[in-house]
Amino acid sequence: MAVEVTLEDAEWMVGRAGLSGVASMKRLPGGWDNSNIRLDLMDGTGLVLKIWQAQKSLEDVLTVIQRHIWLDRHGIPTATPIELADGSRIVVRDGVAWTLMPHVAGGHLGSDRASLESLGATMARLHEVPEAECFPRDFRMGWPLFELMYELADETGEWTDFLVALKEEESRLRGQIPDDLPRGILHGDLFPDNVIGDGEVAAILDLEEAWIGPRAFDLVMAFVGFGWDAGKPVGERWDALVSGYESVRNLTDSERAALAVLHRYATLSIAAWRYWKHNMAEPGTELSVRYLEMVDRLGVEFGFQVVK
């Protein structure tokens, strides 16, 4: 649920950074969990106020901020919360963390060839960043979420058709994904609302789902986010992503062989997250059928050919 922010609230927050003079405020689109509000100051400075109401603890917020700092230090374009006057990066208000980030100009990245080649290359550079402790080794929207959903279904006795199918699909997928694929830091949720740019990547946002896992998983997740149109996979978009990616790092033969099953896991994870979010955690809205988009995709074949 979005947090209501007044002009007075915004002035209070920018004051913590030693700034003042909020000229305008605008809630930004995208983001299903946290509130993001653009603030334009009288002096022309652009900021984004992020309110982390979805995070379970302040420790979780600080961990995600550490991920942004880590990637920024290694040359990956992102938006890192700025230091406030007291040296901290967060302010706690009513038990919720508030941060200020520089506003990155541009809208959500498009699906044209240049944009997707840029995304592929940026992804490959991300995957070569050294690992750090602030990145977990489990994908939050994957197996751990599935297990939570099964536990809730047991507690309520509500094993819906989707949950039954999810468990059956999971049991097949777990045995099909190799354990020895090259690993690295992944974004985990590369959808258009998490990438800013106009023809090329200006910033990768929202590292809540970032983790250390098979590098090729991020590539197919980006295809889930950017590569489909009207319920069909677009081969030219896949080619653009891979072309950009391999301009920095070549896929291994084992990664190429695993692309289809990794894509299925990525698609299933988005379906599960949407089902959990809109049917179990916050039921009763028009978004309750949103997971079906991904369910339908599971029935569509795509070759994932990669030309060497």
* pLDDT tens-place string over residues 79-107: 999 999 999 999 999 889 999 999 998 89
Q: Which of 102, 134, 160 marks a domain boundary?
A: 102
pLDDT score for 103: 93
Domain of residue 38 covers 7-102
Provide the percentage of residues in the chain whose pLDDT is more than 90.
88
- How many domains does the chain contain in total? 2
CA distance 292 to 272: 10
Query: Over the range 6-18, which residues count as b (16 or more CB within 10 Å of their CB) and which as e?
Result: eeebbeebbeebe
In terms of domains, do 54 and 203 share one? no
Q: Which of 49, 70, 102 marks a domain boundary?
A: 102
Instruction: Give per-residue pLDDT as tens, 50-85.
Output: 999 877 789 999 999 999 999 999 999 999 999 999
Give the mean model confidence (pLDDT) for residues 18-39.
Answer: 85
Residue 81 lies in a domain: yes
Angle, nearest 10°, between helix axes 235-246 and 113-127? 40
Q: pTM score > 0.85 for this model?
A: yes
Q: Which of 58, 81, 102 marks a domain boundary?
A: 102
Q: Put residue 112 in one of left, alpha, beta given phi > 0 → left and psi -120 to 50 → alpha.
A: beta
Residue 39 is part of a domain; what is its CATH number? 3.30.200.20
In terms of domains, do 93 and 120 share one? no
The answer to whether residues 116 and 84 touch, using CB atoms and an 8 Å cutoff, is: no
Terminal Cα distance for the chain, rounded: 47
Antiparallel, parallel or unpaired: β 22-27 and 35-41: antiparallel
pLDDT score for 122: 98
In terms of domains, do 94 and 118 share one? no
In terms of domains, do 196 and 64 share one? no
In terms of domains, do 149 and 61 share one? no
